[in-house]
Structure 1
Amino acid sequence: MLLPEGKEQAFVDAYCSHYQKLYTNGIDSDNLTGLINKRQFDRVQTLLEHEIAVNSKVVACHSNSISTDRQIMVTHLIVNPKVDSPVMSEEIFGPLLPIITYSTVEQAIAFITARPRPLALYLMSENESLQHKVSTQVHSGGMCINDCVFHLAVDDAPFGGIGESGKGAYHGKEGFLTFSHAKTVMKTDAKAHNVSQLLGPEDNEFKRAVLASLCA
């Protein structure tokens, strides 16, 4: 999460308040799931414990926050971790949300573009000029404006990464092209191999065309 400087506490308070309405009993809420196995839980917990050990500001979104035995934890907000820390350099795939503050939009854009291209980009803004600026200047696999994740649900629009976040896209026509391979089959008369026209000393139209394409 990239957030304007000075809005950290307001964001943390609002996030935790809404979280507690959704998951009233923390890790004992019926609608809160855990990580898929112990290995993944241990991986995410190690990221969290590192931030606590280096005195980053870490806020659990509910006081009933973690159960190692059940491999479940509430979302933890991590405010301004070091940019080279493990939680900022590894894919999290768990309930940890780093928050990085910026002073100008240009600084935020520079922060994103200096790093591997993201699978998704979510912009929360009603400013149409800013919407245009971010959507045209920042590379990402997909983007939502004032929403998140739901571009995945648009089944006739391509979904996929770019650069380090993936290659190709799926859904509809794009999915068919990504997961299939068009095989070229070229058939030439057995008595008129094109390659023979390249090897002889004489000049011919085919040789000139091939040489022109190579020298273009």
Structure 2
Amino acid sequence: MAPEALTQPAMRHRFDALRAASLRAQTPPWRERADRLKRLRALVVDHRAAIAAAISADFHHRAAQETELAEVFPSVEGIDHALRHGQRWMRVKRRATGLWFKPASSRVMPQPLGVVGIVVPWNYPLYLAVGPMTAALAAGNRVMVKQSEFTPRFAELFASLVRKAFAEDEIDIVNGDADTARTFCALPFDHLLFTGSTAVGHQVMRAASENLTPVTLELGGKSPAIVGPGANFDKAVERILVGKTLNAGQTCIAPDYVLLPEGQQQRFAEAARRVFASMYPRLESSTDYTSIVSPRHFERLQALAAAAQQQGATALPLSDMAPDAATRRFPPVLLTGVNDGMRVMQEEIFGPLLPVLTYRTLDEAIGYVNAHPRPLALYLFEKDRATIERVMQQTVAGGVSINETLMHVAQDDLPFGGVGASGMGAYHGEHGFQTFSKLKPIFQQSAFNGVGLFRPPYGKTFARMMKLLLR
């Protein structure tokens, strides 16, 4: 299924239609925003079976249950959160006015930015479209979305559903290849949100800079899972495996490597194999395990594992099944004996390979995390409160789950975003509303005020007033 091709003039024409509509109604009332959110919710809920089928076809196979859990549910939860709280987010908020400027008043008025661009990755094509769209619509914006060429069936389905549910000047969906994406990112959006790799994030930011378009970059990186000295070890292994095998590890916040207390590697490997067998019995025929999205991504994972082993790493498969290129089913593999010179420790893995490293002291583990680019997510498994606080204070990450993996992303009242190489800016809930709004500061002068005392000519009265101000 070939994606729709758009020339630059055609794409610009569609953008201009959104811009014109936003100028005609610059600050839509809540009832209009709520109506758009409800239509988006209905689109997701009413067509969730077709959405799951399209995504599964794009991946070669992904269980409908996994799509419902990881994409449909958080999409609907995010919309419902916005519907419950959006009207409050819109309110003009009073701000303090300096003593010497009273009886003037100050306030902040949230206003829509205008037209928001959203670039969606292939790994969660529904949720990573609907999540930002929810925030942008709640903030009163028009939206233009570029779907990934790696999920063409879903992209075409989503475009057709949006066309039926929304006017062309409310939401516009753009499908196409990498050239289409470059043209898309060069449009003069009022804000551009990109979710994807750090390498492409550089290109997106360069394109946006030509128009001084502000960007939110949701990137990735190597998210560590630290198993602390006081962790519930077996529970830690289970939660790490759940986080790593969801979507076959094709998740930007999946645990990318594990830091274990020294001497615990064999114990971890044995427990991980038991956990995986309990989750995916008879893997060859299981319908619950997701395939790798494309032959290119499958081959990349094979190359990462092979290169690491050639450089001295040991592979510990968690299943007796070998990777199958025909179905693109890649069972998880632990890698021990890795070092920073290996590609698997330099690149975000984005698949079911899991390097396992050890540390002698917690300071060593913290130092290892801090010696590398700041991750999108950090996972800590530990029962001791002092140890938890120490790791929280001494590391920087986009987001954290303690004694769990992935779940911080599903909390609508927490900002989601990276830091440093893992991204910039944040959205979800009110944080997303603010990202896609101009929080306009307004100072209103009173009819009776003392500003006239500070204008020229600067004489004795001015000097006395300045003496009072600076005393």
Q: Are 2:300 and 1:43 aligned?
A: yes
Structure 1 pair 185–156 and aligned structure 2 pair: CA distance change class (3 A):
closer
Q: 1:140 to 1:182 in 2, by over 3 A?
A: same
How far is 1:173 from its partner?
1.5
- Aligned residue number for residue 6 of structure 1: 263
Aligned to 1:211: none
Counterpart residue number, 1:81 = 338
Normalized against structure 2, the TM-score is what?
0.39
Deviations 1:138-162 (A, max 9, x none): 0001111101100011011111111
Going from structure 1 to structure 2, the CA distance change for 1:204 and 1:76 (only over 3 Å counts) comes to farther
Q: How far apart, CA to CA, are the structure 2 residues paired with 1:43 and 1:181?
A: 42
> What residue is the counterpart of 1:95 in the other structure?
352
Verify the 8 A CA contact 2:312 2:337 in the aligned structure 1.
no
- The aligned amino acid for 2:430 is K
Q: In the TM superposition, what is the alpha-carbon distance from 1:176 to its structure 2 partner?
A: 1.9
Distance 1:39 1:183, change over 3 A: farther
Counterpart-to-counterpart distance in 2, 1:74 and 1:40: 14
Higher helix fraction: Structure 1 or Structure 2?
A: 2
Counterpart of 2:325 in structure 1 is 68
SS of corresponding position for 2:424 = coil
Q: Which amino acid aligns with 1:148?
A: T
Question: Hey, what's the Cα distance between the residues in 2 that align with 1:65 and 1:204?
Answer: 85
Aligned to 2:412: 155
Cα distance change on mapping 1:27 and 1:33 into 2, 3 Å: farther
Q: Distance in 2 between matches of 1:160 and 1:149?
A: 13
> How far apart in 2 are the matches of 1:96 and 1:146?
21
CA shift digits 1:5-30 (9 cap, x unpaired)? 10000000001111011111224321
- Secondary structure of the 1:36 match is coil
Partners of 1:122 and 1:65 lie apart in 2 by: 29
Q: Distance in 2 between matches of 1:164 and 1:183?
A: 30
1:106 aligns with 2:378: no
Gaps of 5+ in 2: 1-257, 444-455, 460-471
- Equivalent residues, number: 190
**Percent identity of paired positions between Structure 1 and Structure 2:** 37
The within-5 A match list for 1:134-153 is: 134-153=391-410
Residue aligning to 1:199? none
Q: Could you report, residue by residue, the CA deviation over 1:84-141 in whole angstroms, capped at 9, with x for unpaired residues?
A: 2100000111001111111000000000001000101100010111100001110001
Structure of higher RCO (CA pairs closer than 8 Å, 6+ residues apart): 2
* Partner-residue secondary structure (3-state), 1:70: coil
Q: Give deviations 1:56-86, integer Å, cap 9, x for gaps.
A: 1111100013101111111110013121210
Is the contact between residue 27 and residue 73 of structure 1 (CA under 8 Å) also seen in structure 2? Answer: no
Instruction: Give the RMSD, CA atoms, in angstroms.
Output: 2.0
CA distance in 2, matches of 1:52, 1:172: 44
d(CA) in 2 for partners of 1:27 and 1:117? 37
Secondary structure, in 3 states, of the residue corresponding to 1:78?
strand
Partner Cα separation in structure 2 for residue 143 and residue 119 of structure 1: 9
CA distance in 2, matches of 1:204, 1:184: 30
Out of 120, 125, 135, which is 2:382 matched to?
Answer: 125
Question: Would you say the 8 A contact 1:123–1:131 is kept in 2?
Answer: yes
Aligned-partner Cα distance in 1 for 2:304–2:311: 11
Q: Distance in 1 between matches of 2:380 and 2:435?
A: 28
Q: What's the counterpart of residue 286 of structure 2?
A: 29
- Name the CA distance, whole Å, in 2 between partners of 1:50 and 1:204: 76
Under a length normalisation based on structure 1, what TM-score does the superposition of the two structures give? 0.82
